[in-house]
A = this chain, B = another copy of it.
């Protein structure tokens, strides 16, 4: 039935969008089958509309023929499903052609963009036009959509790290083709649409994030004014016990705004994975990585069990004061190093000099590994942060060939529980993670981010060989076991992959029932992205 519906709809879509924007043959769909998840649903077809009017038309035909459509901005939702729909029998609506940067306001530091605008597009636009603003970039690479990350409530590294909170004035298309603007955007002459989030009356932005209730076709995002001073800081933490103390020591600083941006803490394995793929040879082919070999590599790379990186944005007075506060807080726990642009450049010169003498090897790697991080802090996206994705592949890590989509062996699932920023919270969390990863033959790649002042947002990477069916099964089992344990312990994920979105129902059900009610109100035919953050409930059909 789906097939015949589709065949009825295709001619209309082709007429309106043009043949080249309607993809339904195997070869042209191939690009959309890529995913790093163990399993995924292939789309029935892919449409690439170029405007809101075309989206409206697509929806009209979709409703008429009862064909669900699944919008993606750029489809680079690594670790959570890429461009693949959250269920079978859906037509992907790829919005990448809608890639206009509609406005950049330098005075008030914001941009208005469409779904297809990538991190690289925006960064290039700012630098080419000599605009003194930095975007908040994520580690998802140059090709990821800024809007897509924002409405998935993703996060970056600067004071604007929380993308949902720092975006406003959405344009939304509903399933029936109605267009409306959130916040103040629906008032004709509004001068405050993209600079004040909530508007007046019920605030609806949240409804269209992590949801299937509408298609977001435009958003305002806030940008950072280029600060007088950017100062990165980094330190290693020797063991788990010290990690607990460090978090306790820095929490008050985060609460008081002394740490203005999200501090990221990665475990040894996560850092190692940015510098090499799995050491198959040294490990004798065995997985997961043994304790001995891991310790050896950690020593070779002079890493900590945990490795923290943050940044101070401000002027010379405030960054230097915060530096003192951080040093004081970490006294006896860790030795933070502070790196600003001057030091980075000096370091590069020093390394060049030392290299001549053959002394700079370790230092060279250190400085080089700081560069892309420093770039990211300045809103310059790069592919360096995707390197970890290649961890379990059977080839050496390349700096140039980092195309995730083209490598069928890359298996990756991200699981991102939120943990209270307390000793007990972290202790319990850690007691779950490594044993579960190891039980299924995986290495626990962990990051912990102080996204807000009261919780740690963790991102766990389950890396596996996607060409190995047994590993795929194990990976999914590992994910499911971790998720169950996290829910049992009350560490709820902030985001889900397409494989999980249909299974988020909790015992109380009240919340998801309300989401169902809202879905019925805004999309009675259920045309938009069925399953997407809208779990089936036992008592409904």
Report A's interface with B, CB cutoff 8 A: 107-110, 153, 159, 164-165, 174, 178-182, 184-192, 195-196, 198-211, 213, 222, 224-225, 227, 252, 255-258, 260, 313-315, 317-318, 320-322, 324-325, 328, 418-422, 425, 452-455, 457, 487-496, 504, 506-515, 517-518, 520-522, 533-534
Oligomeric state, in copies: 2
- Residues in chain B near residue A455, CB distance under 8 A: 192, 195-196
Nearest CB of chain B from residue A261's CB, rounded to whole Å? 9
Besides the known contacts A198-B206, A202-B518, A518-B522, 8 further A-B residue pairs in the complex with CB atoms under 8 A apart: A153-B203, A178-B513, A190-B490, A190-B492, A191-B419, A202-B207, A204-B511, A517-B521
**Of the residues B207, B256, B493, contact of A204 by C-beta under 8 Å:** B207
Q: Which 8 A-B pairs have the closest CB atoms?
A: A180-B510, A203-B206, A321-B321, A191-B490, A521-B521, A195-B454, A186-B511, A317-B321
- Residues in chain B near residue A191, CB distance under 8 A: 419-420, 425, 489-491
Residue pair A108, B203 in contact (C-beta under 8 Å): no
Residue pair B522, A454 in contact (C-beta under 8 Å): no
Residue pair B164, A198 in contact (C-beta under 8 Å): yes
Residue pair A189, B488 in contact (C-beta under 8 Å): yes
Q: Which of A187, A207, A455 has the most CB of B within 10 A?
A: A187
Residue pair A202, B515 in contact (C-beta under 8 Å): yes
- Residues in chain B near residue A487, CB distance under 8 A: 187, 189
The closest CB in chain B to the CB of A416 belongs to B200
- Residues in chain B near residue A315, CB distance under 8 A: 256, 258, 325
**Of the residues B192, B494, B514, contact of A419 by C-beta under 8 Å:** B192
Residue pair B508, A186 in contact (C-beta under 8 Å): yes
Residue pair A196, B454 in contact (C-beta under 8 Å): yes
- Residues in chain B near residue A521, CB distance under 8 A: 517-518, 520-521
User: Complex Cα distance A313/B198, Å?
Assistant: 26
- Residues in chain B near residue A108, CB distance under 8 A: 420-422, 454
Residue pair A186, B506 in contact (C-beta under 8 Å): yes
User: Complex Cα distance A512/B188, Å?
Assistant: 13
- Residues in chain B near residue A205, CB distance under 8 A: 203, 206
- Residues in chain B near residue A260, CB distance under 8 A: 256-257
The closest CB in chain B to the CB of A516 belongs to B521
**Of the residues B189, B317, B490, contact of A189 by C-beta under 8 Å:** B490
User: Complex Cα distance A507/B189, Å?
Assistant: 10
User: Complex Cα distance A178/B513, Å?
Assistant: 10
